[in-house]
Amino acid sequence: MAKRNDLKKRLKAADRRRNRRQAALGTVGKPAPKEPQARPADMIAELLVAYACEEKSPSDIIVSSALRACLCGDLPNKEPARSLGLKIEAVSRQPGVTARAYRGALKELSEAASLHQGSQKDSPDAFLAYLSILAEAA
């Protein structure tokens, strides 16, 4: 039992020293909570759904090329994909979006687009339809 009391005394003394040190530095209390991180995948998906609604003839090919180009850190050469790529890159500059989360979102969406490209003969814009269904459900 003596060891346990000694340990408690040392822990309390360490807490007092830590509190004094923090008070001297001006960091009394708990640190401010972090900003909630934004979900770049949701932001990019909203952009893609808006693109599908605005365009006269939206295409999965344009979306997938813009996603792949942004994942590589580049912009597509053709105009519809280039303007979409610029909008997607603007997400990375939003407050609360980390570079790691942005690249992960691009990778996730690019993989989902490639999965839906296998059924191009059945429905040519399956990925955009998939995203619009998800947007309606949310």
Place of tokens 């890159």: 89
Q: Are 91 and 11 in contact (CB under 8 A)?
A: no
68, two tokens: 């792949």
- Return the minimum-mean-pLDDT range out of 1-15, 16-30, 36-50, 70-84: 16-30
Most confident of 102-106, 117-121, 128-132: 102-106
- The pLDDT mean for the chain works out to 83
User: What is the DSSP track for 15-68?
Assistant: HHHHHHHHHHHT--SPPPPPPPPP-HHHHHHHHHHHHHHHSSS--HHHHHHHHH
The predicted pLDDT at position 134 comes to 82
pTM value surpassing 0.95: no
44, two tokens: 């990019």
Domain ranges of the chain: 1-33, 40-137
Please give the average per-residue pLDDT across 109-137, as a whole number: 80
Amino acid at 131: L
Q: Are 68 and 121 in contact (CB under 8 A)?
A: no
Per-residue pLDDT for 34 more than 80? Answer: no
The predicted pLDDT at position 130 comes to 84
pLDDT band, residue 58 (cuts 50/70/90): confident
Q: What is the rounded distance in angstroms from the CA atom of residue 74 to the CA atom of residue 76? A: 7
The better pLDDT of the pair 121, 102 is held by 102
